[in-house]
Structure 1
Amino acid sequence: MTLFQCTGWVELDGTRLSLADVEKIVQNDPEKIRRFGGEFALSFDTCHARDHFGIIPGPGPKGVLVCNGQARFSIVPDPAPRTLDEAIVTAVRLRSDEGVTALSGGVDSSLVAALAERECVAVGLAGSHDLAQARHAAELLGLACTEVEITTDEIADALPEVISVIPKKDPVNTSIAVTQYFIARWAGAHGYRRILTGQGADELFGGYARYLSTPTLEEDLARDVLGLAAQADRDQAVAALFRTYLSMPYLDIRVVRAARAIPAHAKVHDGERKIPLREVAARHIPQELAGYGKKAMQYGSGVWGVLKKLARKNGYKTSMQDYIDHIGRVEHGH
Structure 2
Amino acid sequence: MTEPLRGADASTVWAAMESGDPLPGTGGFAGEVDGRLVRDVLGREPLYLDAASDGREWSFDPTDLTDPELLDAGTVIEPDDARGEVWSLPNPTTETDHGTAVDAVRDAVLTSVREPSPDGLAVAFSGGVDSAAVAAGVPEAPCYVAGFADAESHDVDAAREAADAMDRDLRVVAFDHDDIERAVPEIVRATGRSNAMDVGIALPLYFVAERAAADGFDRLAVGQGADELFGGYRKVVDPAEDHRVDADTVRGATREVVRSLPDQLPRDVLTLRAAGVEPVAPLLHDRVVDAALRLPADLLATDEERKIALRRAVADVVPDDVRGAEKKAVQYGTYAARELDRLARQAGYKRRMDDHVGQYIDALVAGEA
Q: Same fold by TM-score, threshold 0.5 exceeded?
A: yes
1:311 deviates by: 1.4
Query: 1:95 aligns to what?
Result: 116
Residues 194, 246 of structure 1: 8 Å contact kept? yes
Alignment deviations for residues 277-300 of structure 1 (CA, whole Å, 9 cap, x no partner): 111122221101011111111111
Number of equivalent positions: 315
1:72 deviates by: 10
Letter of the 2:159 counterpart? A
Residues 55, 232 of structure 1: 8 Å contact kept? yes
Cα distance between partner residues in 2 of 1:254 and 1:172: 30
Query: 1:119 aligns to what?
Result: 142
Letter of the 1:102 counterpart? A
- Among 272, 275, 279, which residue is 2:308 paired with? 275
Query: 1:294 aligns to what?
Result: 327
Query: 2:204 aligns to what?
Result: 179
- Among 325, 328, 331, which residue is 2:359 paired with? 325
Residues 100, 195 of structure 1: 8 Å contact kept? yes
Cα distance between partner residues in 1 of 2:76 and 2:45: 14
TM-score in terms of structure 1 length? 0.81
Cα distance between partner residues in 1 of 2:115 and 2:13: 22
The runs of 5 or more residues in structure 2 that have no matched partner are 18-23, 49-70, 91-100, 241-247
Residues 104, 131 of structure 1: 8 Å contact kept? yes
Query: 2:188 aligns to what?
Result: 163
Do structure 1's residue 108 and structure 2's residue 164 form an aligned pair? no
Do structure 1's residue 130 and structure 2's residue 155 form an aligned pair? yes
Cα distance between partner residues in 1 of 2:196 and 2:78: 39
Residues 163, 328 of structure 1: 8 Å contact kept? no
Cα distance between partner residues in 1 of 2:25 and 2:290: 16
Q: More helix by proportion, 1 or 2?
A: 1
The runs of 5 or more residues in structure 1 that have no matched partner are 11-21
Question: Taking structure 1 as reference, are residues 96 and 231 closer, same or farther at Cα in structure 2, changes over 3 Å only?
Answer: farther
Deviates more, 1:260-269 or 1:30-39: 30-39
Query: 1:316 aligns to what?
Result: 349
Q: Secondary structure at the match of 1:147?
A: strand
Letter of the 2:264 counterpart? Q
Query: 2:274 aligns to what?
Result: 241
Q: Secondary structure at the match of 1:246?
A: strand
Query: 2:3 aligns to what?
Result: 5
TM-score in terms of structure 2 length? 0.74
Query: 1:140 aligns to what?
Result: 165
Cα distance between partner residues in 2 of 1:132 and 1:333: 34
Alignment deviations for residues 204-238 of structure 1 (CA, whole Å, 9 cap, x no partner): 22222334443333332222111111110111121
Query: 1:16 aligns to what?
Result: none
Query: 2:224 aligns to what?
Result: 199
Cα distance between partner residues in 1 of 2:323 and 2:337: 26
Residues 350, 356 of structure 2: 8 Å contact kept? no
Cα distance between partner residues in 2 of 1:231 and 1:185: 20
Q: How do residues 21-100 of structure 1 correspond to structure 2 at under 5 angstroms? A: 22=9, 31-32=14-15, 34=17, 35=24, 37-43=26-32, 46-59=35-48, 61-63=72-74, 66=77, 68=79, 69=81, 74=86, 83-98=104-119, 99-100=121-122
Percent identical among aligned pairs is 32
Alignment deviations for residues 65-96 of structure 1 (CA, whole Å, 9 cap, x no partner): 656345699579x9xx9701001012212234
Question: Taking structure 1 as reference, are residues 333 and 296 closer, same or farther at Cα in structure 2, changes over 3 Å only?
Answer: closer
Cα distance between partner residues in 1 of 2:153 and 2:232: 21
Q: Secondary structure at the match of 1:37?
A: coil
Cα distance between partner residues in 1 of 2:13 and 2:339: 50
1:103 deviates by: 0.2
Question: Taking structure 1 as reference, are residues 40 and 244 closer, same or farther at Cα in structure 2, changes over 3 Å only?
Answer: farther
Deviates more, 1:299-308 or 1:179-188: 179-188
Residues 164, 328 of structure 1: 8 Å contact kept? no
Letter of the 1:89 counterpart? L
Alignment deviations for residues 218-273 of structure 1 (CA, whole Å, 9 cap, x no partner): 33222211111111011112122134232222221111111111122332224211
Deviates more, 1:187-196 or 1:174-183: 187-196
Cα distance between partner residues in 1 of 2:292 and 2:272: 27
Question: Taking structure 1 as reference, are residues 44 and 297 closer, same or farther at Cα in structure 2, changes over 3 Å only?
Answer: same
Cα distance between partner residues in 2 of 1:213 and 1:36: 32
Question: Taking structure 1 as reference, are residues 252 and 130 closer, same or farther at Cα in structure 2, changes over 3 Å only?
Answer: same
Residues 7, 42 of structure 1: 8 Å contact kept? yes
Cα distance between partner residues in 2 of 1:45 and 1:177: 34
